[in-house]
Amino acid sequence: MLIYEKIVDDIFLIRSDSSFWFKCQGIVIKNKKSGNLLIDCNCFYKNEIENLLKDKIGAYFVSHVHLDHVYNLHYYEEFNPNIKIYCPIPENEYLTDFNNFIRDNGTLAFGIGDQFKGFAFKELGFKEIKSVIGFNPETEFEFDSIKIKAIPIPGHSLAQSAFSIEDTNEQSKRKILFVSDIGLTEKRAWAWHGFRYSNLEIFRETIKRIEDIYLSDDYIIASSHGRIIFEKQPDVFNNLLIGLEKTENDLLNMLDPKKPRSLEDLKFKGLIFPLKVFKPVEKGGNPMVPFFEHNMILHHIEDLIERGKVIEVGNKQWILNN
């Protein structure tokens, strides 16, 4: 069953009450004239999507192509072949050819491209779609009185987009800032950066940019995995940077100013994932876990080198910069 949580009149944060672990929330904007507008309404059962499509749909927006945001997207196209699906460039190309995705996210080069495709197509039921409209950063869309502006928030993915949502006919209605997967989760503020194209330096810049936008106006925040934030919270995005600093401090404590450490010295020590989740692939372990661990630690190392705290002294070997 779909659960609608009102943000303002005619705009809702929507989620499924299913117990499936791999899901996210989306936005539904009720719009009688040109049709309802959907953002990231992916993680629903087939019959729930059918119910959503009983109303006219004006457009569907994808914030970024990570599987919890897109694996059921094909149902929208199957049920409504004329639906307009928008996705930020270049991630729009992942939806029509999954090979582009495994090339860019690093799973192909890591040697687990087939396993990742198996997870997507067999376990999740992902299907490529036939038609998607790519859009550039800062693109503005207007549907009658509803204005939706795409705000680039890369770092988590290549081209993730947040969306500013405004009803220009009702000045008293507060604006909404849907920040997708920027890291505002229910349990903690945490920036996921497990694909090879993730970039923590860019993510830091993203946080500062979206924070400035949030503080500049009377926004309500909604996100893919967190609660609605109605009251102004000036530190909400800065908490993401604090979380990054904690992980990097833990990593710095594992390095030495004289003895080089390699990636193999740093992995599987509980820095990113709890030790209990690790199980050798040959004994049935998930190949995604070592892949994500590898990338996340490497991204932190790259960020620390850029900030002058770590020095590379050999091929994938580092020391502290004292």
- 159 SS3 class: coil
Q: Please give the structure tokens belonging to residue 196.
A: 């090879």
Q: Residue 290 falls within a domain, yes or no? A: yes
Q: Are residues 126 and 208 in the same domain?
A: yes
CB atoms within 10 A of CB 132: 22
Q: Residue 63 falls within a domain, yes or no? A: yes
E strands present in the chain: 2-8, 11-16, 26-29, 36-39, 57-61, 85-88, 133-135, 140-143, 146-152, 161-167, 175-178, 219-222, 261-262, 310-314, 317-320
Query: Which residue(s) pair with 146 in the sheet?
Result: 143, 167
Q: What are phi and psi of 167, to 5 degrees?
A: -100, 105
pLDDT in tens, 255-291: 999 999 999 999 999 999 888 777 776 676 788 999 9
Q: Are residues 206 and 263 in the same domain?
A: no
Report the distance separating Cα 42 and Cα 97, nearest Å. 18
Q: Which pLDDT band, with edges at 50, 70 and 90, does 245 fall under?
A: very high
Q: Are residues 170 and 273 in the same domain?
A: no
E strands present in 173-296: 175-178, 219-222, 261-262
Q: Residue 247 falls within a domain, yes or no? A: no
Q: Are residues 56 and 134 in the same domain?
A: yes
Q: Is the pLDDT of residue 307 over 80?
A: yes
Q: What are phi and psi of 39, to 5 degrees?
A: -130, 120
Contacts (Cβ under 8 Å, ≥6 apart) of 231: none
Last residue of a domain, one of 211, 239, 267: 239
* pLDDT, mean of residues 162-191: 90
What DSSP character marks residue 285? -
Q: Are residues 230 and 271 in the same domain?
A: no
Residue 275: the pLDDT is 81
In contact, 271 and 247? CB cutoff 8 Å? yes
Q: Are residues 168 and 311 in the same domain?
A: no
DSSP result, 17-83: ----SS---EEEE--TTT-EEEES--SS-HHHHHHHTTS-EEEEE-S---HHHHTTHHHHHHH-TT-
Q: What is the separation of C-alpha 143 from the centre of its chain, rounded to a whole number of angstroms?
A: 25
Residue 135: the pLDDT is 98
Last residue of a domain, one of 239, 265, 290: 239
Report the distance separating Cα 200 and Cα 303, nearest Å. 6
Q: Are residues 50 and 190 in the same domain?
A: yes
* pLDDT, mean of residues 63-85: 96
Q: Are residues 257 and 235 in the same domain?
A: no
Residue 187: the pLDDT is 76
Q: Are residues 151 and 209 in the same domain?
A: yes
Residue 64: the pLDDT is 98
Q: Are residues 168 and 264 in the same domain?
A: no
Nearest to 5 by CA among 232, 178, 210: 178
Q: pTM for the complete prediction? A: 0.95
Residue 282: the pLDDT is 67
Report the distance separating Cα 249 and Cα 253, nearest Å. 6
Q: Is the pLDDT of residue 189 over 80?
A: no
Number of domains composing the chain: 2
Contacts (Cβ under 8 Å, ≥6 apart) of 313: 260, 319
Q: Are residues 138 and 232 in the same domain?
A: yes
**Which residue has tokens 């509803």?**
146
pLDDT in tens, 126-157: 999 999 999 999 999 999 999 999 999 999 99
Least confident of 55-69, 245-259, 273-287: 273-287
Q: Is the pLDDT of residue 321 over 80?
A: yes
More confident residue, 46 or 298: 298
Q: Residue 13 falls within a domain, yes or no? A: yes
Q: Is the pLDDT of residue 44 over 80?
A: no
Q: What are phi and psi of 240, to 5 degrees?
A: -65, -40
Q: Are residues 113 and 202 in the same domain?
A: yes
CATH number at residue 209: 3.60.15.10
Q: Please give the structure tokens belonging to residue 293.
A: 């661990």
More confident residue, 285 or 184: 184
CB atoms within 10 A of CB 55: 13
Domain limits for position 218: 2-239
Last residue of a domain, one of 185, 211, 239: 239
